[in-house]
């Protein structure tokens, strides 16, 4: 990750550095809030209360977190192979297309079959969309950052074309498909609990959250407990050593990109099959890009990614409440606050890492 | 029992008077993803709401969406907090509004640009093709090369509806005229890419177009700048954009979302708010073309007469403007 690795105790690396980054982001954001004449402490309270104090808030927070877990894991898997997959948006877009094609085509299937099929199709479409840049990187040396960005544009163009000319509902103003059959719907948590007589507020939180946690566990298994995961990490850590060990870099590159794209594609299960029940434009809403920050913050470890996703879920949901209760704080302010968190967690990581490294080093010397 | 009936009667009477005076309204607005200050569609609603606030002193609340999931959340939140009428801006709000309107049968909802059939929803749609027809006619009359241009934002049915009406207007005035058409892009960014808008306009000018109409939100700012810089004429959209480059903007196709907003709020205040579909075309002054000091010199009496006559013919039904949305085709 960084050119000169700074030795930190594990707990400091995984907990202290991200915590400091978030704290710093909140302090700066607080100053901005102060500058526009609002009370930062009160605003922080509204933000946290809005995200965590009510059933509805928690539901929305976890719903957002579901998206971030998928895209964060996608970035992380590619990252372990030394690849920077910025194409989460495009891969998720294609995932949506895959899910929609299955849900619209096989309407007569029962739900227990249709939902997994839709999810598989979403993952497969995302994976194939990521395979092309993966192939170009592996065989042609086209840089993955450039190609994945370009593939985001291509995915978006493809979706507009299909929704406007082919798949769209005739006579509808907005470019979107018809609503899926109820069997294709991933049940909301409030629907599931209602069956057992438990009433909770209506939120978009649905079964995909469980899928996201399962995916996080799966990624952990893959990266740290399988031969393939070992090969991926080896390629990422030292490509020359990987070649020396008989690992085919181009093969691993393509496989890692496919897994990454498949994870990003699963975002569509949450958005398309869980919440919208139809395919529409721009449902990816930038989650693919936030996934990069989530993976950086979570140190590309599934546990870290789930925690970072929760943090961003809190920012999104709490931010909505904040914009609601404080008309002076617009949605652009909320973007600024999330942007600061990304800045400190991602780009300015070294700001805390370097002094902390010196601090711990001097302590170690003191101990010795 | 008797006291209960009396109480009920009193409650109804009280409720009735409150309705008749109808002063305690708490209006709210949910803008679409474009945001409150998009210089065009959403901003029209904002302008209308501000005007209403100035006229009546009634405060309103508003919210700018950031993603699709917030649509339902925001509408529900406003409804739960007792806001009414709640104006939802943009066709994308329809499915969320349909759900929330059912949950809160006592709240009033006004939807702009799309129709939702529910007993507490007022839907306001515009005949953009009629307004586009008139500016197309003016463009053809103002063009010296016989070639005019159209720059759309994102390639969606709504924008094709603008383009289709425009082409019909051009051909109505000059059957041999040629219309060059471009869409800016395929993502939401297409609504806010003035640089690309300017490039498309320049390309059309190079191919001979000397009047260019845009229906592209913020992208259109670049279209108007490019036409003004090249000494050609642009045509604005949604809000009156004549003043952006005085003397260089032939006219603007006005979509009176501001009037629609004020009317909806006023009706709620006076207790005359009614659900159902309102279609605002030329006849209802819902669409129009702008004539003011900035473009007075560009519109010859002959052009004005032709446009006025066409407008009258459309209102009377003598001239029919085909609506792209009716069959997804443009003649």
pLDDT at B21 over 50: no
pLDDT digit string, tens, across residues A273-284: 999 899 988 898
Residues of chain B within CATH 3.40.50.2300 domain(s) are 23-126+258-280, 128-255+300-327
Interface-testing mutation among A56, A159, A160, with chain B (most B C-beta atoms within 10 A) = A160
Question: Which of A:15-74 have CB within 8 Å of B?
Answer: 60, 63-64
Does A22 map to a domain? no
Would you state the pLDDT for residue B303?
A: 95
Measured between alpha carbons, how far is A128 from A133 in angstroms, rounded to an integer?
10
Q: Measure Cα distances from A90 to A157, A347, B125 in Å.
A: 10, 23, 33
Q: Do B73 and A153 touch (CB under 8 A)?
A: no
pLDDT at A136 over 50: yes
A109 touches chain B (CB under 8 A): no
More confident residue, B192 or A289: A289
pLDDT at A66 over 90: yes
Give B-chain residues touching A161 at CB under 8 angstroms. 186
Give A-chain residues touching B35 at CB under 8 angstroms. 331
Does A233 map to a domain? yes
Residue among A275, A331, A335 whose CB faces B69 most closely = A275
Give B-chain residues touching A276 at CB under 8 angstroms. 68
Q: How far is B89 from chain A (nearest CA, A)?
A: 13
Q: Do B68 and A175 touch (CB under 8 A)?
A: no
Please enumerate residues of B whose Cβ is less than 8 A from a Cβ of A: 35, 61-70, 72-74, 76-77, 91-92, 94-95, 113-114, 154-158, 186-188, 325-326, 328
Interface-testing mutation among B27, B79, B186, B324, with chain A (most A C-beta atoms within 10 A) = B186
Would you state the pLDDT for residue B14?
A: 44
- HEC string of chain A? CCCCCCCCCHHHHHHHHHHHHHHHHHHHHHHHHHHCCCCHHHHHHHHHHHHHCCHHHHHHHHHHHHHHHHHHHHHHHHHHCCCCCCCHHHHHHHHHHHHHHHHHHCCCCCHHHHHHHHHHHHHHHHHHHHHHHHHHHHHHCCCHHHHHHHHHHHHHHHHHHHHHHHCCCCCCCCCECCCCCHHHCCCEHHHHHHHCCCCCCCCCCECHHHHHHHHHHHHHHHHHHCHHHHHHHHHHHCHHHHHHCCCCHHHHHHHHHHHHHHHHHCHHHHHHHHHHCCCECCCCCCHHHHHHHHHHHCCCCHHHHHHHHHHHHHHHHHHHHHHHHCCCCCHHHHHHHHHHHHHHHHHCHHHHHHHHHHHHHHHHHHHC
Give A-chain residues touching B95 at CB under 8 angstroms. 278
Q: How far is B289 from chain A (nearest CA, A)?
A: 23
When pLDDT is cut at 50, 70 and 90, the band that residue B1 belongs to is very low
Listed residue (B277, B162, B141) closest to B210, CA to CA: B141
pLDDT at B238 over 90: no
Would you state the pLDDT for residue B5?
A: 52
Interface-testing mutation among A67, A208, A320, A337, with chain B (most B C-beta atoms within 10 A) = A320
Listed residue (A244, A241, A290) closest to A67, CA to CA: A290
- Does the pTM surpass 0.90? The reply is no
Q: How far is B75 from chain A (nearest CA, A)?
A: 11
More confident residue, A67 or B16: A67
Q: At what angle do helices A287-297 and A331-342 cross, to 10 degrees?
A: 40
Pick the CATH number of B23-126+258-280 from 3.40.50.2300, 3.40.50.300, 3.40.640.10, 3.20.20.140: 3.40.50.2300
Q: CA of A64: which chain B residue's CA is closest? A: B69
Does A118 map to a domain? yes
Would you state the pLDDT for residue B128?
A: 93
Listed residue (A248, A114, A249, A256) closest to A181, CA to CA: A114
Mean local confidence (pLDDT), A228-244: 95
Q: Measure Cα distances from A200 to A315, B43, B241 in Å.
A: 22, 37, 49
Would you state the pLDDT for residue B69?
A: 81
Q: Are A270 and A185 in contact (CB under 8 A)?
A: no
Mean local confidence (pLDDT), A190-204: 90
Mean local confidence (pLDDT), B228-241: 92
Measured between alpha carbons, how far is B151 from B250 in angstroms, rounded to an integer?
15
pLDDT digit string, tens, across residues A152-182: 999 998 998 898 888 888 766 678 888 899 9
Does A241 map to a domain? yes
A175 touches chain B (CB under 8 A): yes
Interface-testing mutation among B34, B41, B60, B68, with chain A (most A C-beta atoms within 10 A) = B68
Does A75 map to a domain? yes
Residue that has been written with the tokens 């840089």 in this structure:
A143
pLDDT digit string, tens, across residues A9-48: 877 777 788 888 888 888 988 898 898 888 999 999 999 9
SS3 B186: coil
Q: CA of B30: which chain A residue's CA is closest? A: A324
Would you state the pLDDT for residue B15?
A: 43
Count of CB atoms situated within 10 Å of the CB of B81: 13
Would you state the pLDDT for residue A172?
A: 67
Burial B194-222 (b: 16+ CB within 10 A, else e): bebbbbbbbebbeeebbbbbbbbbbbbbb
Domain that holds residue A118: 67-310
A173 touches chain B (CB under 8 A): yes
Measured between alpha carbons, how far is B292 from B281 in angstroms, rounded to an integer?
21
Q: Do B73 and A63 touch (CB under 8 A)?
A: no
pLDDT at B10 over 60: no
pLDDT digit string, tens, across residues A98-116: 999 999 999 999 989 999 9
Query: In this predicted structure, which of A6-15, A56-65, A110-119, A311-320 has the lowest mean pLDDT?
Result: A6-15
A204 touches chain B (CB under 8 A): yes
Mean local confidence (pLDDT), A188-204: 90
Give A-chain residues touching B154 at CB under 8 angstroms. 160
In degrees rounded to 5, what are phi and psi of residue A185?
-90, 125
Measured between alpha carbons, how far is A201 from A233 in angstroms, rounded to an integer?
43
pLDDT digit string, tens, across residues B139-156: 999 999 999 999 998 888
Give A-chain residues touching B156 at CB under 8 angstroms. 160, 164, 173-175
When pLDDT is cut at 50, 70 and 90, the band that residue B17 belongs to is very low
In degrees rounded to 5, what are phi and psi of residue A16?
-65, -50
Count structural domains, chain A. 1
Mean local confidence (pLDDT), A309-317: 93
Question: Which of A:252-271 have CB within 8 Å of B?
Answer: 271
Would you state the pLDDT for residue A2?
A: 44
pLDDT digit string, tens, across residues B267-303: 999 999 999 999 999 998 899 999 999 999 999 999 9
Mean local confidence (pLDDT), B44-72: 90
Q: CA of A274: which chain B residue's CA is closest? A: B69
Q: CA of B157: which chain A residue's CA is closest? A: A173
Mean local confidence (pLDDT), B57-67: 89
pLDDT digit string, tens, across residues B201-224: 999 999 999 999 999 888 899 999
pLDDT digit string, tens, across residues B161-190: 999 999 999 999 999 999 999 999 876 678
CATH number of B128-255+300-327: 3.40.50.2300
């Amino acid at each position: 990750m960084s050119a000169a690795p700074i030795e930190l105790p594990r707990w400091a690396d995984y907990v202290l550095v991200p915590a400091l980054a978030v704290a710093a982001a909140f302090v700066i954001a607080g100053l901005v809030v102060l500058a526009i004449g609002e009370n930062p402490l009160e605003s922080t309270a509204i933000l946290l209360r809005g995200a965590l104090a009510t059933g509805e808030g928690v539901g929305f927070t976890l719903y957002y977190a579901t998206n971030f877990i998928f895209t964060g894991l996608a970035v992380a898997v590619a990252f372990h192979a030394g690849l920077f997959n910025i194409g989460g948006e495009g891969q998720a877009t294609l995932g949506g297309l895959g899910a929609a094609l299955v849900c619209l085509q096989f309407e007569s299937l029962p739900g227990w079959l249709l939902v997994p099929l839709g999810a598989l199709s979403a993952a497969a479409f995302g994976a194939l969309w990521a395979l092309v840049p993966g192939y170009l990187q592996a065989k042609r040396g086209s840089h993955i950052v450039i190609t994945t960005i370009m593939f985001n544009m291509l995915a978006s163009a493809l979706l507009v074309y299909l929704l406007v000319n082919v798949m769209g509902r005739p006579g509808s103003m907005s470019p979107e498909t018809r609503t899926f059959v109820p069997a294709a719907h991933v049940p909301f948590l409030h629907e599931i609990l209602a069956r057992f007589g438990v009433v909770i507020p209506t939120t978009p939180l649905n079964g995909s959250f469980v899928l996201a946690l399962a995916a996080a566990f799966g990624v952990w298994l893959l990266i740290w407990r399988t031969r393939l995961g070992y090969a991926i990490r080896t390629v990422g850590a030292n490509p020359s050593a990987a070649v020396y060990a008989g690992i085919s870099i181009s093969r691993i590159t393509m496989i890692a990109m496919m897994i990454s794209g498949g994870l990003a594609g699963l975002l569509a299960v949450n958005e398309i099959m869980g919440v919208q029940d139809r395919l529409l434009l721009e449902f990816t809403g930038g989650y693919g890009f936030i996934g990069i920050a989530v993976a950086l913050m979570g140190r590309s470890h599934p546990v870290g990614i789930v925690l970072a996703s929760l943090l961003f879920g809190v920012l999104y949901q709490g931010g909505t409440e904040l914009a609601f209760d404080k008309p002076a704080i617009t949605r652009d302010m909320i973007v600024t606050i999330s942007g600061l968190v990304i800045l400190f967690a991602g780009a300015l990581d070294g700001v805390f890492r370097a002094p902390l490294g010196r601090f711990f080093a001097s302590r170690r010397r003191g101990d010795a | 029992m008797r006291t209960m009936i009396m109480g009920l009667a009193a409650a109804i009477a009280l409720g009735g008077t409150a309705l008749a005076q109808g002063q305690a309204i708490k209006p709210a607005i949910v803008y679409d993803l474009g945001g409150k200050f998009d210089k065009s569609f959403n901003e029209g609603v904002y302008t209308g709401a501000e005007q209403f606030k100035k006229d009546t002193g009634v405060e309103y609340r508003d919210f700018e969406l950031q993603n699709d999931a917030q649509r339902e959340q925001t509408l529900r939140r406003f409804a739960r907090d007792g806001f009414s009428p709640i104006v939802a801006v943009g066709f994308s709000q329809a499915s969320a509004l349909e759900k929330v309107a059912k949950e809160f049968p006592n709240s009033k909802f006004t939807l702009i640009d799309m129709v939702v059939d529910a007993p507490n929803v007022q839907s306001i749609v515009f005949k953009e093709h009629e307004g586009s027809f008139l500016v197309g006619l003016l463009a053809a009359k103002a063009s010296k090369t016989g070639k005019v241009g159209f720059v759309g934002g994102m390639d969606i049915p709504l924008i094709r509806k603008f383009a289709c009406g425009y082409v019909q207007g051009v051909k109505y005035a000059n059957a041999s005229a040629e219309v060059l058409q471009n869409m800016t892009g395929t993502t939401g960014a297409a609504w806010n890419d003035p640089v690309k808008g300017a490039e498309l306009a320049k390309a059309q000018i190079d191919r001979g177009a000397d009047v260019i109409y845009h229906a592209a939100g913020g992208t259109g700012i670049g279209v108007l700048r490019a036409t003004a810089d090249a000494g050609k004429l642009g045509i604005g959209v949604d809000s009156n954009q004549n003043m952006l480059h005085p003397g260089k903007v032939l006219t603007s196709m006005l979509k009176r979302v501001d009037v629609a907003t004020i009317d909806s709020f006023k009706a709620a205040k006076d207790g005359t708010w009614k659900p159902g579909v309102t279609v605002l075309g030329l006849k209802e002054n819902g669409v129009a073309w702008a004539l003011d000091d900035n473009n007075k010199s560009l519109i010859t009496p002959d052009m004005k007469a032709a446009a006025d006559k066409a407008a009258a013919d459309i209102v009377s039904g003598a001239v029919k403007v085909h609506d792209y949305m009716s069959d997804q085709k443009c003649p």
